[in-house]
């Protein structure tokens, strides 16, 4: 059961802290949980796990593919690995290891790919991933989650420890606006209807949930009835919810901090087309762009991923 916060302007703890504290709590319950890093322990705060639980921490250095291989090997011996590196290094750089040593070999590995899309900030184009969801969707049996705030991040980290297979968590390292109250819980594979509406449906994931809610409020002020779904679990997708909530809508828009190719928008489009849903539809995301250097705020505007950008897209469809 989930509940929305009353003050959406407030921020929670940094998401990297939420990840680390959740792993530390898991280690207390199960000493088979292992944290692994690729020389970014300071950036991810995984060094806190090294201090609190040195026997449950492995520093693999700048050798991400080896880290995935070691993690999968540990899984084959009954351990539950949680690995971290920046999003592009956690997916496209190590894709073969994830696919074969992980999924094909029926091992379990929990991957935290941090700073997706515009959240990469000054690390620039080499560290930007607009394609991580597209890659991970292609892996049979994978689970992909894009949590929107601290509460949801803590929940997914712990929930994934109960499941087998390849699991991908994409999330900012820094603090983001709160969406859910701390006591909220969720259901894997199910989207959350954050507000109901009859005219417009926005399906969104990750920290853009807050921006989608901002956009919805602006549209409501103009007399539109707007529904917002937090589709934090991109795979498996909540197909039933997409179909039920798309019925009767004048406009359906997906909103993602990702390329429009292969991500949330593509997943929703596939569902709508395969089920014969005839509704004006738009994928709002990044189209044929590489990353670049800048602050996260600048990059969010540069790649047209703000609430105002979403508002303009929706208004152009009405």
- CA dist 113 and 232 (Å) reads 15
Question: Could you tell me the CA-to-CA distances from 283 to 141, 216, 259 in Å, in that order?
Answer: 25, 16, 9
Q: Catalytic one among 64, 150, 159, 256?
A: 64
Dump strand ranges (E) for 101-248.
109-114, 143-145, 166-171, 192-195, 200-204, 226-230, 233-235
What residues contact residue 101 under an 8 Å CB cut-off, 6+ apart?
68, 69, 72, 73, 107
| Angle ∠(138,158,123) on CA atoms, nearest 5 | 60
Please state whether beta strands 251-259 and 200-204 pair in parallel, antiparallel, or not at all (unpaired): parallel
Handedness of CA 80, 142, 193, 298 (dihedral sign): positive
Q: Verify whether residue 64 is a known catalytic residue.
A: yes
User: Catalytic amino acids?
Assistant: 64
């Amino acid at each position: 059961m989930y509940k929305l916060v009353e003050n959406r302007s407030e921020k929670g703890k940094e998401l990297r802290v939420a990840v680390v504290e959740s792993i530390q709590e898991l280690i207390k319950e199960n000493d088979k949980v292992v944290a692994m890093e690729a020389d970014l322990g300071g950036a991810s705060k995984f060094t806190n796990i090294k201090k609190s639980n040195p026997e449950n921490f492995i520093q693999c250095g700048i050798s991400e593919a080896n880290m995935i291989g070691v993690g999968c090997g540990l899984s084959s011996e009954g351990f539950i690995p949680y690995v971290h590196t920046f999003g592009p290094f956690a997916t496209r750089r190590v894709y073969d290891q994830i696919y074969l040593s992980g999924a094909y070999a029926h091992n379990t590995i929990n991957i935290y790919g941090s700073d997706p899309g515009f959240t990469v900030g000054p690390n620039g184009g080499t560290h930007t991933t607009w394609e991580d969801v597209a890659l991970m969707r292609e892996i049979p049996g994978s689970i992909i989650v894009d949590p929107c705030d601290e509460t949801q991040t803590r929940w997914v980290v712990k929930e994934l420890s109960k499941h087998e297979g390849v699991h991908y968590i994409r999330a900012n390292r820094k603090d983001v606006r709160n969406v859910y109250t701390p006591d909220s819980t969720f259901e894997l594979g199910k989207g959350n209807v954050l507000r109901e509406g009859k005219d417009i449906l926005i399906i969104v994931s990750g920290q853009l949930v807050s921006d989608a809610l901002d956009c919805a409020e602006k549209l409501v002020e103009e007399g539109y009835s707007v529904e917002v779904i937090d589709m934090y679990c991109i795979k498996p997708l909540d197909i039933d919810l997409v179909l039920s909530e798309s019925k009767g809508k004048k406009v359906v828009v997906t909103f993602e901090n990702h390329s429009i190719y292969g991500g949330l928008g593509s997943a929703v489009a596939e569902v709508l087309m395969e089920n014969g849903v005839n509704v004006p539809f738009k994928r709002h995301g990044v189209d044929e762009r590489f990353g670049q250097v800048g602050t996260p705020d600048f990059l969010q505007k540069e790649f047209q991923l703000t609430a105002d950008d979403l508002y303009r897209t929706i208004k152009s469809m009405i």
